[in-house]
Structures are given as structure tokens and as C-alpha cells.
Structure 1
Amino acid sequence: MKNCIILLLVATSLLTCKSGTGSKSAGQSLFNGKDLSGWHVDVPELDKNPQALSPFIIRNGLLVSMGNPNGHLITDAIHQNYRLEVEYRFAGKPGNCGVLVHASTPRALYSMFPKSIEVQMMHQNAGDFWCIVEDISVPEMEKRRGPKEKWGITEGKERRIVNLTDGTEKPLGEWNSMRIECFDAEVKVWLNEVLVNHGFGATATKGQIALQAEGAEVEFRKVMLTPIKKISE
């Protein structure tokens, strides 16, 4: 069944490109390899303990999320209609992390997570969507999100939408390549060149981009953003 869905979504993607939603500009790295210019840290623990170490550091030219204390590294700028390319790996034990798109109100969920749509990077679950006070739809919603009466975007609700494929992640220690395309109300996700999710009807179409510290050490060697423009008619 998953293979049928993937073929359908690939065909839809090709038609979308032909209809004029795929023109792109030059990309820019959101990470300069030296410091966190263009980003700011939001870690609740630092409010209580200003002497605590930030979980986001630069190490050997890599952007590293140490995992603890939990929080987010958020772009200063707001972005809309773009392709985001992220290359990452779990440096030690596998665990949890994510890329948040269309982020806005900070600490909107569990006094921690900014209002956003999360593209999951958690080991063996990469490509899932998590709705964080924003929403998005996918084909076969009840199969992939659970019973409709349990859906929601706040605490205690069914916010996870599982991805389309299994086995697309590289072995632990190897680099994974994730591509996220946000255009109008759609979000498409590829992992290692495989389409793993395609959402539509998103309740947000622009916002900041955030990387998580959520318990596991993760290295990033690429965070590249390329604007996508409509092809003029």
C-alpha cells in the first residue's frame, strides 16, 4: 500500500512542477561553520539557570545539538516558499531530534515547542510530521494519524502523522540527507532521495525554521535554504 501511495505522490509532484511551482533561486547556507549568526537559542532551562550550557555548539566546523538541556535553535528570519536541505547524523547513540518549519509563537506546546510543523528526525521515524499548534493533512489520514476523534494540535491529542516508508535512514554514524520543500500550504519531505512525506492544507505557510535539542547528540554539516518562486504565467 505504501508503494502505491508513493507512486501517486511522485506523479502529483511531477504535475505540480509542470504547472508552475518549481522555479528556484540561488541557495544560501543558514550556517556559516563558525558561529550561530542568524539564529537564536530558546531553552527554558536557561531561564532558571543562566549558567547552564547551551545545547547548541560549533565543533570542528559542524553545528551540533548536544540534546540537553532541551530546547530549540531558531532562525532570526522568517521564510516562505523554500527548499531546505539538511545533512545530519547521530554522533553517538540514536535518539530524537527534528526540523521545525513555519515556526512562530515560542513555547506554545508543553511550554517548550514553538508553534510549527515538525519534520521528525528521530531514529527509525525520520520523515514523520508532528503537528505543534499548527495542522497539516495527508492522504489516508486515519490510517496514518489514527482515529479522527483523537486528532488535535495541542497537548494530549494525536499529533503524529507517520511517514510513507521504512528503511530509508542510513546506518548509525553515517550522514543522512533530508530535503524539505515548503510551497504555499504544501510540505514535501525526502530522506536520502526517497519521498517520505507529502502534506497539504497546512495552517501556516511561512515562519521561522528551528532545530531541536531533544535528548540526543546530532551533528549537522549542511543547512541550506533555496527560495522557490512560482513560474510566471
Structure 2
Amino acid sequence: MLTRVLSSAVLVLLLATPAAAQAPDVIHLFDGKDFRQHFYTWLVDDRKNDPDRVFTVVDNVDGAPAIRISGQKYGGITTHEEYETYRLVVEFRWGTITWGNRKDRARDSGILLHCQGPDGNTGRTFNGPWMRSIETQIIEGGVGDFLLVPGTGTDGSRLWPEMTATASQDRDQEWVYDPKGKPRVFRNGDRINWYGRDPDWADRLGYRGAREVEKPAGEWNTLEVIVTRDMITNVLNGTVVNIGTDPTYTKGKIIIQSEGAELYVRRVDLYPGAKK
């Protein structure tokens, strides 16, 4: 089993991929006008319809167009294509609206990587909100966590990804990414918290921990996900917050979630062919 701790030299290589939006190899998954060239919508019950306009493009959010994800219903925007090795750069900030049983809870969303199988396969009847995948979490106080999201196979079997991380347990016995920790295989709904997640984290609106890298609600964050065949690295606002290795899923679609909170996304750029 392979395990890796990134040296400063490797980090320089990972982060050296051109960040400029005009880089020749960039795929603008959102071009500032429309997201449907690269994404389709999926919602519980509504499936590929969006009668409540959960996903729209707004002309001016802090001076630029953005995708508005209302969060009213659970689902996401899913890429038409599958991707394997890449650097994904997403700029996001929270809105003010929350919904339903998450009205008073931490604002929640996420980016699902290596999504596999039919749409909606997180539900046993294929009417779930997402697909089996590896999630880079976006939640107040927990941006950069990894979740291993299980799903249903076409034969009805339950399937899930696995991934290794060097991790240690915090005061509450939760697993936290730790470059000096021992390697451990995570599977079947497991979570790998980002290195600074507060052990006193509470699922409440506006939560912020003592070591927060995420900016306060209403400010823009840059989340970079660097994906190679044997490593996934989450970089939040220029800080490496989590690393997983040897994922059993190495290719798939990408989903940006709708999960009970309003989210604005003004940049979704994919740079193919990320290198270690």
C-alpha cells in the first residue's frame, strides 16, 4: 500500500499549474454565461428537471456573474464528461438562505469527485441526490474534509470507494488528516477531517473553528482539488488542508452539490493532466 507525505518540493510542483483563467489548457466548466455546456442538473424526485430553479446564473454577484445554487432541494450539477487527472479550481461563497431541516445548521455543500454509476445511485431506488464518489466537503468549519460516499450498483449491491490517509484521532476519536500520522484505509461513508477541524465543531449556522482557513460567510474562497491517479489534495485559500492516497476510484464525473444552503460559484476551471 502506498502512502505519501508531500514534501515542499512536491507541493511547489502541484501548485505550479497555471492559475490564470486564460491558460491555454484550461476548461472553463462555467464560462460566466451558462453552465449547461458542461453540466446537467439532477434533483431528488425532479431528476433532470429543475422546476424551482435551484440552479441559475446571476449576472452580478460582487461585480461578476456566478452560478447560484439555492440549496432548496438536494441534488447537484453533474458534468457530462468523466475526468481522471486534473486540477480543479472553484471559487465560492455562501449566500444567506438556508432551507428545511438545515435552516439553523451549518451551511453545507460539496464537490463530488470520481462519480460513478447511474444518476441518483446514493438512493437504493436511484432517486438519491448524488452518485457514489469521493467528496471534497464544503461545510462551515469543515471545508476540505473527505467523505467516502457509497452508492448502489445496477444489481442492487451496495458499493463504495476506499482511500488511504495518514491520520490521527482527535479528542472525540474522529479521524483527522495528519502528515505524521499512521496510514489508514477509509471506506463506506467514512470521513477524514481536514487537519484543523475543531474538535468542538457543532452543526450550527455560521460555525467557525479556532484554526479556520475558510473565510467568513459572504467572502469568497478558492478551493483547489488536485487529482492524480494515486492522490487527491485539497487546497483551501492556498493552504493544503487534506491529502488522500490510493483511491479505489480514479476516474468519473464531477458534481457540485445542492444541500440545504445557498451557494454562489463564480469560477469552475479544470486544468487537465495534473502531475505529482
TM value normalised by structure 1: 0.81
Residue 29 of structure 1, CA deviation = 1.1
Does residue 108 (structure 1) correspond to residue 121 (structure 2)? The answer is: yes
When residues 15 and 176 of structure 1 are mapped into structure 2, their CA distance, relative to the original with a 3 A threshold, is closer
Residues 45, 52 of structure 1: 8 Å contact kept:
no
Give CA-to-partner distance per residue, 1:130-149, whole Å, 9 cap, x none. Answer: 10122211102666539xxx
Give CA-to-partner distance per residue, 1:20-54, whole Å, 9 cap, x none. Answer: 9x87772221112222221111112315x967324
Gapped runs of 5+ residues in structure 2? 19-23, 60-64, 98-105, 150-159, 177-185, 197-210
Residue of structure 1 in register with 2:110 after alignment: 98
Match for residue 89 of structure 2 among 85, 97, 101: 85
When residues 26 and 113 of structure 1 are mapped into structure 2, their CA distance, relative to the original with a 3 A threshold, is same
Moved more, 91-100 or 79-88: 91-100
Match for residue 164 of structure 1 among 195, 201, 204: 195
Gapped runs of 5+ residues in structure 1? 1-7
Residue 113 of structure 1, CA deviation = 2.1
Match for residue 185 of structure 1 among 214, 230, 240: 230
Residue 67 of structure 1, CA deviation = 0.4
> Helix, strand or coil: the match of 2:46?
helix
Q: Which amino acid aligns with 1:34?
A: K
Residues 42, 78 of structure 2: 8 Å contact kept:
yes
Residue 128 of structure 1, CA deviation = 0.3
Q: Which amino acid aligns with 1:109?
A: T
What is the Cα-based RMSD across aligned positions, in Å?
A: 2.8
Give CA-to-partner distance per residue, 1:77-98, whole Å, 9 cap, x none. Answer: 1111100000000011560000
Residue of structure 2 in register with 1:26 after alignment: 25
Structure in which a larger fraction of residues adopt helix: 1
Moved more, 72-81 or 87-96: 87-96
Alignment coverage as a number of residue pairs: 213
> Helix, strand or coil: the match of 1:204?
coil
Residue of structure 1 in register with 2:152 after alignment: none
Residues 185, 204 of structure 1: 8 Å contact kept:
no
Give CA-to-partner distance per residue, 1:184-211, whole Å, 9 cap, x none. Answer: 1210000010100000010111111110
Residue of structure 1 in register with 2:40 after alignment: 40
Structure in which a larger fraction of residues adopt strand: 2
Distance 2:265 2:111 in 1: 11
Residue of structure 2 in register with 1:5 after alignment: none
Distance 2:11 2:240 in 1: 15
